[in-house]
A and B are shown apart, each in its own frame.
Chain A
């Protein structure tokens, strides 16, 4: 099979409707790249968390979606960018159950567990960028070793 065609895209995140659109676009891209159902579900769930953070805590922003090809691996990188208040204490924000907004506080910590790569870059007063990446696993069954 040849590399499936998924182009780099930038989608704005400004409303609840945008969240639904972003999830749908990522699900489609992930399916086209060959992600299995479980991996798709995990990736889309992480996207839902991070896009909602961009909207709710960051005051809106956008998502950049980039298909990845490295050797014979295929993957997807997603960046969530906002120019909001930023996060003062990253370690605290990444703590399970920590929330400043009456949520469950599982968005950041949980999405980190759902994907292969997770990076967060935030400066108080300047904004936040969260980047995740995931790779299509060789075997169709869920990846082992996720702890």
Chain B
């Protein structure tokens, strides 16, 4: 029986699609035992079975379309989001992308054994063609999941980064009218933007007259960081607050000078406490050791 090649291929995928629809319940029941589904859909087994059925339906639709190798097959659209959630939850549980891909590949085995049972003769060429088509289909599913894993990973990193940005720039009220930001780590553009915004906000909220930027925790001050510092100081000035930069370590001071950056217009102090003392004294507050009161000593 000689048929044109593409026609045979289409026949095979259609047959596979029919099989998947016919065996939907059994496949879903078996998959619901697999760690990939069991660990994610923990509320009830029914929930896991439903999720499995959605994936079987998607595979059946993709197979019916005749292109089991197509990552972008519309059949996958209905489960992309669900697969993404599953992959994300496995990733959160500490699984690496390749381990997750391995779990998806593991879904093939239970389907294969059901498929083989359909044919009396395991050497039947149609049985073999179906098995190959199934292998391709599950391989594509694996890639679809991988894709969502990568997306989810990137999103997770972006979110953690954002959280870090916000957490790492607390504005502290040191005294009436005096706020301080201890800067820690790399002052890239996004960070310095947030520093500037939260500092200006705090200046308004606290009616601060003095703002201290402490850079003890900043490892490198290059021309970009210096420029950000200067911009922040200028913006604070416009809000009516004077900025003091503290914590410039000796090695950084030498480097800034040699780099050719002039911080001459900025008030600097060695440490945070010196900066605070300056801010207080400018407001007429004098901090001095408790005077020895002659009368009640002892």
* A52-B224 in contact given A41-B252, A114-B255, A114-B259 (Cβ < 8 Å): yes
B242 CB to nearest A CB, Å: 23
**A52 to B223 alpha-carbon distance, docked (Å):** 10
* A45-B220 in contact given A16-B188, A103-B227 (Cβ < 8 Å): yes
Q: Chain B residues near A20 (CB, 8 Å)?
A: 186, 188
Identify whether the interface residues of B are mostly helix, strand, loop, or mixed: helix
Q: Which residue of A lies closest to B157 (CB)?
A: A17
B201 CB to nearest A CB, Å: 24
Q: Chain A residues near B223 (CB, 8 Å)?
A: 49, 103-104, 106-107, 110
Q: Which residue of A lies closest to B261 (CB)?
A: A106
Total number of B residues with any Cβ neighbor in A under 8 Å = 21
A142 CB to nearest B CB, Å: 7
B261: which of A37, A38, A110, A146 is its contact (CB, 8 Å)?
Answer: A110
**A43 to B223 alpha-carbon distance, docked (Å):** 14
Is there an interface contact between A109 and B260, defined as CB atoms closer than 8 Å?
yes
A76 an interface residue at 8 Å Cβ cutoff? no
A30 an interface residue at 8 Å Cβ cutoff? no
Q: Chain B residues near A103 (CB, 8 Å)?
A: 223-224, 227
Q: Chain B residues near A77 (CB, 8 Å)?
A: none
**A146 to B221 alpha-carbon distance, docked (Å):** 19
A73 an interface residue at 8 Å Cβ cutoff? no
Highest count of chain A CB atoms <10 Å: which of B188, B190, B219, B255: B255
Contact code string A11-54 (vs B, CB < 8 Å = 1, else 0): 00000100110010001000000000110111011001100100
Highest count of chain B CB atoms <10 Å: which of A40, A44, A104, A113: A104
Is there an interface contact between A106 and B251, defined as CB atoms closer than 8 Å?
no
Is there an interface contact between B255 and A23, defined as CB atoms closer than 8 Å?
no
A121 an interface residue at 8 Å Cβ cutoff? no
Is there an interface contact between B227 and A146, defined as CB atoms closer than 8 Å?
no
B194 CB to nearest A CB, Å: 14
Contact code string B232-275 (vs A, CB < 8 Å = 1, else 0): 00000000000000000011101100111100000000000000
B220: which of A16, A37, A48, A106 is its contact (CB, 8 Å)?
Answer: A48
Is there an interface contact between A41 and B251, defined as CB atoms closer than 8 Å?
yes
Contact code string B205-226 (vs A, CB < 8 Å = 1, else 0): 0000000000000011111101
Q: How large is the interface on A (under 10, 10 to 19, 20 to 34, 35 or more residues)?
A: 20 to 34
Q: Chain B residues near A114 (CB, 8 Å)?
A: 255, 258-259
A38: which of B186, B219, B254 is its contact (CB, 8 Å)?
Answer: B254
Q: Chain B residues near A142 (CB, 8 Å)?
A: 254
Q: Chain A residues near B220 (CB, 8 Å)?
A: 23, 41, 44-45, 48
A96 an interface residue at 8 Å Cβ cutoff? yes
**A38 to B250 alpha-carbon distance, docked (Å):** 8
Q: Chain B residues near A111 (CB, 8 Å)?
A: 259
B189 an interface residue at 8 Å Cβ cutoff? yes
Is there an interface contact between A113 and B224, defined as CB atoms closer than 8 Å?
no
A47 CB to nearest B CB, Å: 9
A65 CB to nearest B CB, Å: 17
Among B170-225, those with CB < 8 Å from A are 186, 188-190, 219-224
B188 CB to nearest A CB, Å: 5
Among B110-161, those with CB < 8 Å from A are none
Which A residues fall within an 8 A CB radius of B?
Answer: 16, 19-20, 23, 27, 37-38, 40-42, 44-45, 48-49, 52, 96, 103-104, 106-107, 109-111, 113-114, 142, 146
Which B residues fall within an 8 A CB radius of A?
Answer: 186, 188-190, 219-224, 226-227, 250-252, 254-255, 258-261
Given A42-B251, A45-B220, 19 further pairs, Cβ under 8 A: A19-B188, A23-B219, A27-B219, A37-B251, A38-B254, A41-B254, A42-B255, A44-B219, A44-B220, A45-B255, A48-B224, A49-B222, A103-B227, A104-B261, A107-B222, A110-B259, A110-B260, A111-B259, A113-B258
Q: 18 interchain pairs (CB within 8 A)? A: A16-B188, A23-B219, A37-B251, A38-B255, A41-B220, A41-B252, A41-B254, A42-B254, A44-B220, A45-B220, A48-B220, A49-B259, A52-B222, A103-B224, A103-B227, A104-B227, A106-B260, A110-B223
